Amino acid sequence: MMEIVHEVTARLENKPGRLAKICSALAQEKVDIRAIAVMESDGPSVLRFVTSDLEETRKTLTSLGVEHSIVEVLAVQIEGRPGALSKVLERLAEEHINIDYAYASSAGGGNKALGIFHTNNTKRALQVLAEAAPSADKSAGRRPLHSR
């Protein structure tokens, strides 16, 4: 699974309960947080997250008086095995696609993670990774060229 999604960025006072208030308000509106990262900075903390419902997220943050911005990012499901993340990163590097920042979240009960990547060219990153993804019909019954 790979898709372009909308990420919300907000700056929060670094005070107890500030993040909890936002997460509780989103939960009350039945909005699922798919991935989240909070980073300390010199001023307010930086909150970045991807949710299941962008419009409801916007409404909720606005009602709480939380200033926020929205950008497109790439969401990539990554296998939970050594080297899986490096393959994604190497493929993007080969195409000179820079990763400005990234974070990941467990994707539930399976052995997978959801990686969120903000790149210098999100649409091209999606295309590059989609082309590199193994497909059952591409490889079914065929041996790699080096073993023929």
What SS3 state is found at 64? coil
Contact by Cβ (8 Å): 122, 74: yes
Contacts of 61 (CB under 8 A, 6+ apart): 8, 10, 22, 68
Instruction: Compute CA 32 distance to the chain's CA centroid, rounded to the nearest angstrom.
Output: 14
What are the φ and ψ backbone dihedral angles of 7, each rounded to 5 degrees?
Answer: -110, 140
- Predicted structure pTM score: 0.82
* pLDDT tens by residue, 83-114: 889 999 999 999 999 999 999 877 566 688 89
Query: Range of 55's domain?
Result: 8-70
Domain for residue 127, yes or no? yes
Looking at the DSSP bridge assignments, the partners of residue 99 are: 119
Domain boundary among 43, 70, 97: 70
| Helix (H) / strand (E) containing 48 | strand 45-51
Domain for residue 115, yes or no? yes
- Count of domains for the chain: 2
Provide the pLDDT for residue 43.
Answer: 82
Q: For residue 100, what are its two tokens? A: 């400005």
**Domain match, 43 and 85 both:** no
**Domain match, 66 and 76 both:** no
